[in-house]
Chains A and B, each alone.
Chain A
Amino acid sequence: MISGTGIVKTFRQRGDVLGKNEVKALRGVDFTIPEGGAISFIGESGCGKTTLGRIIAGLETHDEGEITIGGVAMSSLRTRAQQPHFRRIQLIHQDPYSALNPTRTVHQALHDPLKLRARETGRSSQWIYERAEELLGLVGLDPGYVLPRYPHQLSGGMRQRVVIARALTVDPDVLVADEAVSMIDVSLRLGILRLLRDLREQLGVSLLYITHDVATARYIGADGDMYVIYRGQVVESGPTETIINQPVHPYTQSLLSAIPVLYGVEQPGAEQVTPIDSLTTAAVGETVDDAGCLFAPRCPFRTERCTRERPVLGDAVPALQDAEGRVHACFHPIERQVAATSVQAP
């Protein structure tokens, strides 16, 4: 199990000693990845979800807060001693075209981490070959075809499968998939999502899925939790189906309303929410002073209290903070049905 409490990350520009131009990427985020479970981080670009993923994978440091991996608090360890813990968490990048070294064959890409693994566990070099073939079989590739090839000889979907196989070489406990299918052809996307789901069932690896595509997040982790992140703060989290079907935070509702509706097959949700000033959103977000609710400048339901006071996740108002795990950071939570539904009953 991996958990984080109060993760804060602030990026400063060079020479910005007074912190005038600092970017608050994360403002105190709590999360839990249960053993063999799946959770997802949802949000717009720039909301901090990728930074959080990189911190969890040990590729980025954080300023405040604590990450606990398998009961061990990372802050109690030196950087070197942290490494074996972070190795249990493997990151799958968005872009399978740049994640593989173009001058090395698939065999070479898998060989090195496996060699390391073989040395650790005292296995023979024969095992490396067997294991490489086994892993490629696991991700649905034909080892005989793929092993001797260079990345450019493979399609995007195959490359992403190779990247997943490479992540599996070190027997990780958690796979962090950051927009793992957004660059894959539409007809092949579902295959990769399916593979991640199968790996979770077969190997018991946990999944952290980072995306702005809520429907794929639901496909991967319908039984897990969903965290909706806005400007570095979790604004709503809880069981995936609850968040999609009865969201209470206006930001979650705007995000779900923005998903294209497959007219002809689906109909839009009855109470869709559009953020105000939606056309100039990019400009608004940056200039708000930090006193009130972060979403208040774009929120169609804001009141005077929202611009004065910052709501705290799980503690803003008692209403609609479920015992089942749904928590939100909104002073005026109302359940709205915004997700598109199928026209014909299934």
Chain B
Amino acid sequence: MTLATAAHAPEGGTTAPAVRIRDLTVVYKTPAGELPAVSEIDMDLPAGTITGLVGESGSGKSTLALSLLNAVQPPGRISSGTVEIDGLGDVVPLQGDKLRRVRGGQIGYVFQAAQNSLNPLKTVGKQLLDLGRSHDVDDLRALVSEAKELLGRMGLDGARVLDSYQHELSGGMRQRVGIMLALVLNAHVVVLDEPTTALDMITQANILEIIRNIHAERGLTTLVITHDIGVVAEVADQLAVMYGGRIVERGPVRSVLGEPRHPYTQGLIRAIPRLTGDIDQARALPGRPPTLGTIPERGCVFRDRCELRMSVCDTVEPVLERHADQLVACHAVAGQEPDGGAPTDDGQEQT
């Protein structure tokens, strides 16, 4: 199930750790029992690449990302599976102090709404020093100058920003501070959770450019989580589409966008209004995404909204299978082309 890894790695990519997720299941305790928010996911983040994880609210994308830090909060817990990170090993059994050091140290996490994840009572500089102390950094001066350099590279005046409180910074600036805090301890794996939500177009384009540049300069392994396919199309090499706690399609970003195979991916792309061309090309996806309680226990998670639904979808859960460049979990797609050959563009209309 490994995608071609080294192909996209930059020169410095040899030192960057890759992440291997195997059979990961995360459950949440509810009155109705323990329900899986993420079920049996296998995924690799190849070293030196940017992977985009796309899904709607409740698809489990943030839960999956949090489990990279082993930071799923109760009532949730990782019930099975492993998350191996190069140089660290499996992070699932880690606990206490060891786990705390890994978080922020080797793995950087830029939280959703970084705007709101800063402490309003402390200047950014004080928060940076807190971060340094909690990770036993001896040379705090070096840490500060590293932070200034990082902020400078993102187009900010480092000294001024470190002296500011969060309310003195604009949304785009706070997002950059979040990225700085995630990287200042030399993290090699970076998770960005909705990095551009609530930012306007020009700021978004700037932040995406920063993500691309920093990623290439530092040879990072990056995971970008978003609901906006456009964002992924701009920055990512690999794209994984999540639905109902499962990955339904995965592959190089241009092939997935250019020739989506899974009906959900197709519907999602079709539902994006475009700037040019026929407006009514955009069509809404019927139904609505499942919540934790309504994810079916058996069969395909997408079947209720699917136009290719077959009887087998009710009982058997499709597994990810290779079709040309992509991995797709769909019975209908598997049936269409048993040899894995490339389907024609209008394949879905004929069915």
Give the residue among B57, B202, B282 with the most A Cβ atoms within 10 A: B202
- Which residues between 317 and 346 of chain A lie within 8 Å of chain B, taking CB atoms? 339-344, 346
Q: CB distance A264 to B256 under 8 Å?
A: yes
Give the residue among B267, B274, B285, B345 with the most A Cβ atoms within 10 A: B274
Chain B residues near A45: list those with CB within 8 A. Answer: 171, 199-200, 203
Tell me which of B5-13, B74-82, B226-234, B312-320 binds A.
B226-234
Interface: B306 (CB within 8 A): no
Q: CB distance A342 to B274 under 8 Å?
A: yes
Interface: B172 (CB within 8 A): yes
Interface size of B as a range:
35 or more
B226 CB → nearest A CB, Å: 10
A283 to B170, alpha carbons, bound, how many Å? 9
Interface: B3 (CB within 8 A): no
Residue of B nearest to A223 (CB): B279
A256 to B170, alpha carbons, bound, how many Å? 22
Partner of B206, one of A218, A219, A244, A281: A281
Known: A278-B206, A346-B277. A262 touches B229 (CB 8 A): yes
A346 to B305, alpha carbons, bound, how many Å? 25
Interface: A79 (CB within 8 A): no
A257 to B205, alpha carbons, bound, how many Å? 9
A185 CB → nearest B CB, Å: 4
Chain B residues near A219: list those with CB within 8 A. Answer: 273, 279, 282
Known: A44-B200, A346-B277. A186 touches B271 (CB 8 A): yes
Interface: B281 (CB within 8 A): yes
A44 to B201, alpha carbons, bound, how many Å? 7
Q: Count A-B pairs with CB separation below 8 Å.
A: 153
Q: CB distance A191 to B233 under 8 Å?
A: no
Q: CB distance A341 to B57 under 8 Å?
A: no
Q: CB distance B275 to A186 under 8 Å?
A: no
Chain A residues near B284: list those with CB within 8 A. Answer: 187-188, 190-191, 194
Chain B residues near A275: list those with CB within 8 A. Answer: 202
- Which residues between 162 and 221 of chain A lie within 8 Å of chain B, taking CB atoms? 185-191, 193-194, 212-216, 218-219
Interface: B288 (CB within 8 A): yes
Partner of A339, one of B202, B210, B276, B283: B276
Residue of B nearest to A241 (CB): B276
Q: CB distance B257 to A187 under 8 Å?
A: no
Interface: B180 (CB within 8 A): no
Q: CB distance B203 to A281 under 8 Å?
A: yes
A208 to B154, alpha carbons, bound, how many Å? 36
Contact with B along A272-285 (1 / 0, CB 8 A): 00010111111100
Known: A264-B233, A278-B202. A187 touches B173 (CB 8 A): no
Interface: B255 (CB within 8 A): yes
Residue of B nearest to A268 (CB): B234
Interface: A313 (CB within 8 A): no
Known: A185-B56, A186-B228. A264 touches B255 (CB 8 A): yes
Partner of B205, one of A188, A258, A344: A258
A283 CB → nearest B CB, Å: 8
Partner of A261, one of B201, B230, B345: B230
A45 to B170, alpha carbons, bound, how many Å? 10
Chain B residues near A257: list those with CB within 8 A. Answer: 205
Q: CB distance A255 to B202 under 8 Å?
A: yes
Chain A residues near B228: list those with CB within 8 A. Answer: 186, 260
Q: CB distance A262 to B230 under 8 Å?
A: yes
Chain A residues near B201: list those with CB within 8 A. Answer: 44, 212-214, 255, 258-259
Interface: A37 (CB within 8 A): no
- Which residues between 232 and 288 of chain A lie within 8 Å of chain B, taking CB atoms? 244-245, 254-266, 275, 277-283
A43 to B285, alpha carbons, bound, how many Å? 28
Q: CB distance B289 to A187 under 8 Å?
A: yes
Chain B residues near A44: list those with CB within 8 A. Answer: 200-203
Please name 9 further chain A to chain B contacts, defined as beta carbons within 8 Å, in addition to the given A264-B259, A282-B203, sorted by A numbering: A190-B283, A190-B285, A215-B272, A244-B275, A264-B255, A264-B256, A282-B170, A342-B274, A343-B258
* Chain B residues engaging chain A, CB cutoff 8 angstroms: 56-57, 154-157, 170-173, 199-206, 208-210, 227-231, 233-234, 253-259, 267-269, 271-279, 281-285, 288-289, 291, 345
* Chain A residues engaging chain B, CB cutoff 8 angstroms: 43-45, 155-157, 185-191, 193-194, 212-216, 218-219, 222, 244-245, 254-266, 275, 277-283, 339-344, 346
Pick the 4 closest A-B CB pairs, nearest first. A279-B155, A260-B230, A264-B258, A264-B257
Pairs A–B under 8 Å by Cβ, sample size 21: A43-B200, A44-B203, A185-B57, A185-B227, A186-B56, A186-B228, A186-B268, A187-B56, A187-B284, A188-B289, A191-B284, A193-B273, A212-B200, A278-B155, A279-B210, A281-B206, A282-B172, A339-B275, A339-B276, A340-B276, A346-B281
